[in-house]
């Protein structure tokens, strides 16, 4: 089966701050854009940010084992080497980066994760699976 990229569209308040964060801090590429929206290429996945204001969810967190995680988040799965480089880079900057954590330890789907908050307040997760073949294993 051919690899499929994801597309996610999200509201935002300030396109310039979003563009700076994703392009200059995370190293993503800027795609098509207008005065009211931009496309970001995040590891071959398309995120469209539309200037429309803030977005609010009632349930902000959930529990996974002994960790509290943001209910609303999105992210990408990358190899462990890139994960380490990106984590080290972002952690050195004065940004809201969560401490690295191992989830599903010693179980199917074990992976490293960290979260960073973008200028809209969205949580972006970067994860790396111990066994890439277990991403969708039940």
Q: How far apart are CA 42 and CA 87, in angstroms?
A: 16
More confident residue, 6 or 18: 18
Summarised one tens digit per residue, pLDDT across range 31-89 is 988 888 899 999 989 898 988 877 676 667 777 778 877 777 888 999 999 999 999 99
Radius of gyration over every alpha carbon of the chain, rounded to an integer in angstroms: 15
Residue 86 pLDDT: 94
Best CA proximity match to 95, nearest among 104, 87, 107:
87
Residue 2 pLDDT: 61
Domain tally for the chain? 1
**Domain assignment of residue 35, given as a range:** 7-134
CA angle 85, 90, 91 (to 5 degrees): 100
In eight-state DSSP terms, residue 83 is H
CA distances from 24 to 19, 73, 76, 101, 137 (A): 8, 21, 18, 25, 35
Q: How far apart are CA 10 and CA 27, in angstroms?
A: 19
**2 within some domain:** no
CATH of the domain at 109: 3.10.180.10
**1 within some domain:** no
**76 within some domain:** yes
CA distances from 110 to 37, 41, 105 (A): 36, 27, 5
Q: How far apart are CA 49 and CA 74, in angstroms?
A: 13
CA angle 129, 113, 82 (to 5 degrees): 70
Q: What is the mean pLDDT of the chain?
A: 87
- Whether 19 has a pLDDT exceeding 80, the answer reads yes
Q: Is 94 exposed, middle or buried (0-12, 13-18, 19+ CB in 10 A)?
A: exposed
């Amino acid at each position: 089966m051919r690899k499929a990229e994801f597309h996610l569209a999200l509201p935002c308040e300030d396109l310039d701050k979003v563009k700076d964060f994703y392009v200059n801090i995370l190293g993503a590429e800027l795609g098509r854009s207008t005065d009211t929206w931009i496309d970001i290429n995040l590891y071959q996945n398309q995120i469209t940010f539309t200037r429309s204001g803030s977005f609010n969810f009632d349930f902000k967190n959930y529990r996974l084992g002994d960790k509290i995680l943001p209910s609303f988040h999105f992210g990408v799965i990358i190899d462990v080497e890139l994960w380490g480089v990106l984590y080290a880079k972002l952690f050195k900057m004065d940004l809201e980066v969560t401490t690295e954590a191992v989830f599903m330890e010693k179980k199917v789907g074990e992976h490293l994760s960290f979260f960073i908050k973008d200028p809209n307040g969205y949580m972006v997760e970067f994860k790396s699976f111990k066994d890439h073949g277990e991403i969708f294993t039940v």
